[in-house]
C-alpha cells in the first residue's frame, strides 16, 4: 500500500532548505512524490502517517563501520578471537542498532568470515530487516602490520597485493588496505605515524581494483603515508590525521574522499571502553593531528563523509565536524547523507529526499540544525519504504512472513 508521511519538516540537504508542512509519498519502496503541503484528507487506499511536525532527513550513511567489533570493551584485537558464531551474532545486533540510529546504509571497512557480506544479502533479500551494506571483506596489510593477522590478511610485494586485491574486487564493492601505523615514537614532523606499505605495492593494488571497476579505501594517517596513498590513487582515505594543506589540495584534484572518524579516536580515550592505559596514552598523541587533518581537508574542500568506525557516535561526530572542522551544519548533514552516497556511487538511489530515490529516511524528534546532537534523537527509521519506530526495530521484524528454506539470493553465485 502506498504510504504518505505528512505534517513534517523536510530537510533538503541538496538545496540546504527546510521545507515546513511537507508530505512524502512512498510507493514500492521509493519516493513517488514530495509535496510542500500537509495532506489534509485521508484516503483509505493510503496509509497516512502524521509525524506531528517532526524533522525528516535522508537515512544516514555511515561510511566506516565494523559490525563485528562495534562498541566493544577491553582489548580491541582480542575481539577477533571470539570465533564466527559470536562475531556473527554481535554483527547482527550491531546492524540493528545502526538502523535504530537512523543509519540506513553502511560501508563495512573490514570483517571476518564474510559476515557482513552474508548479512548484506540477508537484508537485501528481506530475510531480515537491516541497513544496506557495502562490503570490502577481510582487509589487507603488510607482514608485521599493527593489525594482527587474526584480522588482516598479510601481503607483501606487488604480486601478492595484486592477487589478493583481485580476489577481493571479484567479490566485494571495495578493497580495504591498512597503509599506516606508528604510535611508539614520532616518525616525521612529530607525527606518530609511519607508512605500512610501499608506493609500488599500493599503486599495484589500486590499479588492479580499478581495472575491475571497484574502489580502494585505505586506513591512512600521517603525512608520509598520506603522500603514498594519494600518489597511489586510492578512492577514500580513512582517519587521515596530519593531512597537510598541499595533500588536501591533491585529494580535491584527484577526487579522493575523506572519512575523518573523529570520534573513533576521541571515544577510544574514554576509560569506559577499558582499552588500557598504554593504548589511551598512545592514542592521545593523535588528537592534534586528527584535528589539523580535518581542518586542512575542510579548508581545501575535500569531499568529507561521516564514518563512525568501532567506537564513533553520531552526535559528537557531527559536532566535531562543525566545531573543530569548521563545516557548516548543513555541510555536516551532507557529510552524513549525500556525500556518502557519492562515494559509494549510490547518489541516484540514496542520500537525499527526491522523487525516484529509495525511501530511506530518518525521522527526528528535534531539529539537527538547532543542535547537531539532535541527530541522535531518532523517532522513526524508514528503510525501503518500511516505516519503523526505533523501538520496533528487532530481529522479529517481519520474520513470520519469510520463507526460511529459501536461499539468500546472490550469496552463493
Q: Residues interacting with Zn ion, by CB under 5 A?
A: 109, 309
Distance, in Å, from the CA atom of 200 to the CA atom of 280, rounded to the nearest integer, reads 33
Q: By beta-carbon distance, which residue lies closest to Zn ion?
A: 309
- Least distance to Zn ion from the beta carbon of 347, Å? 23
Is 196 or 309 the residue whose CB approaches Zn ion more closely?
Answer: 309
Q: Kindly state the smallest distance separating residue 151's Cβ from Zn ion, in Å.
A: 10
Q: Which is nearer to Zn ion, 23 or 91 (CB)?
A: 91
Q: For Zn ion, which is the closer residue by CB, 61 or 387?
A: 61
Q: Which is nearer to Zn ion, 307 or 325 (CB)?
A: 307
CB of residue 307 vs Zn ion: minimum separation in angstroms?
A: 8
Smallest separation (angstroms) from Zn ion to the CB of 293:
16
Query: Distance of CA 119 to CAs 87, 94, 217, 384, 390, Å?
Result: 12, 11, 21, 16, 20
Residue closer to Zn ion by CB (options 25, 69) is: 69
Q: Closest distance between Zn ion and the C-beta of residue 273, in Å?
A: 15
Question: Is the Cα torsion angle 159, 160, 164, 165 positive or negative in sign?
Answer: negative
Cell numbers found for residue 407: 536461499
Nearer to Zn ion, 108 or 358 (CB): 108
Q: Quote the least distance from Cβ 216 to Zn ion, whole Å.
A: 14
Q: Least distance (Å) from Zn ion to the CB of residue 83?
A: 21
Q: In terms of DSSP bridges, do strands 140-141 and 153-154 run parallel, antiparallel, or are they unpaired?
A: parallel
Name which of 51 and 217 has its Cβ closer to Zn ion. 217
Amino acid at each position: 500500500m502506498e504510504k504518505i508521511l505528512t505534517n513534517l519538516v523536510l530537510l533538503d540537504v541538496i538545496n540546504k532548505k527546510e521545507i515546513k508542512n511537507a508530505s512524502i509519498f512512498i510507493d514500492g519502496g521509493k519516493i513517488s512524490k514530495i509535496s510542500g503541503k500537509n495532506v489534509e484528507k485521508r484516503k483509505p487506499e493510503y496509509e497516512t502517517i502524521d509525524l506531528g511536525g517532526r524533522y525528516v532527513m535522508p537515512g544516514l550513511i555511515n561510511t566506516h563501520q565494523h559490525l563485528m567489533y562495534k562498541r566493544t570493551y577491553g582489548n580491541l584485537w582480542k575481539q577477533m578471537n571470539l570465533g564466527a558464531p559470536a562475531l556473527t551474532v554481535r554483527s547482527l545486533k550491531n546492524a540493528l542498532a545502526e538502523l535504530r540510529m537512523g543509519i540506513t546504509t553502511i560501508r563495512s571497512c573490514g570483517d571476518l568470515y564474510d559476515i557482513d557480506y552474508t548479512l548484506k544479502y540477508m537484508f537485501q533479500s528481506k530475510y531480515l530487516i537491516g541497513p544496506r551494506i557495502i562490503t570490502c571483506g577481510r582487509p589487507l596489510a603488510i607482514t608485521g602490520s599493527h593489525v594482527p593477522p587474526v584480522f588482516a590478511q598479510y601481503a607483501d610485494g606487488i604480486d601478492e597485493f595484486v592477487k589478493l586485491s583481485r580476489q577481493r574486487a571479484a567479490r566485494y564493492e571495495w578493497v580495504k588496505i591498512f597503509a599506516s601505523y606508528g604510535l611508539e615514537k614520532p616518525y616525521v614532523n612529530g607525527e606518530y605515524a609511519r607508512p605500512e606499505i610501499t608506493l609500488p605495492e599500493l599503486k599495484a593494488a589500486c590499479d588492479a581494483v580499478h581495472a575491475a571497476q571497484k574502489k580502494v579505501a585505505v586506513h591512512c594517517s600521517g603525512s608520509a603515508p598520506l603522500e603514498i596513498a594519494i600518489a597511489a590513487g586510492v578512492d577514500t582515505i580513512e582517519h587521515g590525521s596530519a593531512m597537510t594543506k598541499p595533500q588536501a589540495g591533491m585529494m580535491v584534484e584527484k577526487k579522493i574522499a575523506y572519512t575523518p572518524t573523529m570520534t573513533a579516536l576521541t571515544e577510544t580515550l574514554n576509560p569506559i571502553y577499558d582499552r588500557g592505559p598504554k593504548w589511551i596514552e598512545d592514542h592521545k598523541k593523535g588528537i592534534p593531528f586528527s584535528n589539523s587533518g580535518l581542518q586542512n581537508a575542510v579548508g581545501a574542500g575535500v569531499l568529507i563523509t561521516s564514518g563512525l568506525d568501532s567506537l564513533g557516535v553520531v552526535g559528537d561526530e557531527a559536532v566535531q565536524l562543525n566545531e573543530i572542522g569548521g563545516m557548516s551544519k548543513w555541510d555536516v548533514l551532507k557529510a552524513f547523507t549525500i556525500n556518502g552516497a557519492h562515494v559509494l556511487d549510490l547518489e541516484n538511489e540514496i542520500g537525499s529526499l527526491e522523487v525516484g530515490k529509495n525511501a530511506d529516511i530518518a525521522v527526528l524528534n528535534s531539529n539537527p540544525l538547532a543542535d547537531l546532537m539532535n541527530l541522535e534523537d531518532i523517532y522513526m527509521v524508514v528503510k525501503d519504504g518500511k516505516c519503523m519506530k526505533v523501538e520496533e526495530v528487532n530481529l522479529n521484524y517481519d520474520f513470520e512472513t519469510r520463507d526460511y528454506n529459501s536461499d539468500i539470493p546472490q550469496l552463493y553465485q
